[in-house]
Amino acid sequence: RKEVEQDPGPFNVPEGATVAFNCTYSNSASQSFFWYRQDCRKEPKLLMSVYSSGNEDGRFTAQLNRASQYISLLIRDSKLSDSATYLCVVTTRTGGFKTIFGAGTRLFVKA
Amino acid sequence: GAGVSQSPRYKVAKRGQDVALRCDPISGHVSLFWYQQALGQGPEFLTYFQNEAQLDKSGLPSDRFFAERPEGSVSTLKIQRTQQEDSAVYLCASSLAPDRASYGYTFGSGTRLTVV
């Protein structure tokens, strides 16, 4: 089992739709969680950190469920510009720090 | 500079050739990371520097891979005797944080290496 797993998609949604991605992680000692966005042939860019209490940034909401070991990203009112790959990132401190990226979930928002 | 700068942007190497990839992190960023990203995959960790000290090189796939950051700023990733399986995008990232857990990273645009 991979340490960080994501549904690769693609998710094809119309503009204005709400879409949600989940990401599961295997190490219960994981400490920090992030969502990154990566456009085609571009570098990953930090979208948001994920806090235990959940957090919201405009149309984006991230949540963490430690008991079930998953994080989620909800995008409301999807825009064409949201089309990208969304990478789940988990940092664990076991011995030394270890940061693992998921393989990403592809989102296509269509007009 | 304003962001993480990597060069070259693209590199085509013949199998067996040595290559050197450069990363210029954001000024003042203590932590520097190298990642390898194959097509359709997430970035895979290669190595981590805190200033000039290479604290973790557990992700380097073989002894053909070598990284340095001699003055705690610019870093170079060197791949000796390149093989076709080395073809990937090599991403450099930096962070102000002195550890790896607290903050997200800022990535450079990457170097796309193709070994023919």
Provide the pLDDT confidence category of residue B104 given band limits of 50, 70 and 90. Answer: confident
* Chain A (88-107) residues lying within 8 Å, Cβ to Cβ, of chain B: 89, 91, 93, 96-104
pLDDT band at residue B46 under the 50/70/90 scheme:
very high
Q: Return mean pLDDT, chain B.
A: 93
Q: What is the DSSP letter of B85?
A: G
pLDDT at residue B19 is higher than 90: yes
**Chain A hits for B42, Cβ within 8 Å:** 4, 87, 101-104
Placement of tokens 């053909």 in the chain: B64
Instruction: Give the residue, B78 or A54, on which the prediction is more confident.
Output: B78
CA atoms within 13 A on the CB side of B45: 22
Which of A73-82, A95-104, B5-14, B31-40 bottoms out in mean pLDDT, i.e. has the lowest? A95-104
Specify the pLDDT at position B100: 58
Q: Please tell me if residue A49 touches chain B, with a CB cutoff of 8 Å.
A: yes
* pLDDT of amino acid A97: 73
- Concatenating the DSSP letter of every residue in A6-29 gives E----EEEETT--EEEEEEES-TT
Mean pLDDT, residues B68-85 taken together: 97
Of A46, A93, A96, the CB nearest to B105: A46
Q: Is the pLDDT of residue A3 over 70?
A: yes
Q: What is the arithmetic mean of pLDDT over B81-86?
A: 97
Q: Could A103 and B40 be called an inter-chain contact, meaning their C-beta atoms sit closer than 8 Å?
A: yes
Spatial neighbors of B42 by CB under 8 A, at least 6 apart, are A4, A87, A101, A102, A103, A104
β-partners of residue B112 are: B10, B89
CA B59 to CA A43: how far, in whole Å? 19
Instruction: Kindly list the residues from chain B whose CB atom is less than 8 angstroms away from the CB atom of residue A42.
Output: 109
At residue B56, does pLDDT exceed 70?
yes
User: Which residues have CB under 8 Å from A53's CB, separation 6+?
Assistant: none
Q: What pLDDT, on the 0 to 100 scale, is given for residue A93? A: 75
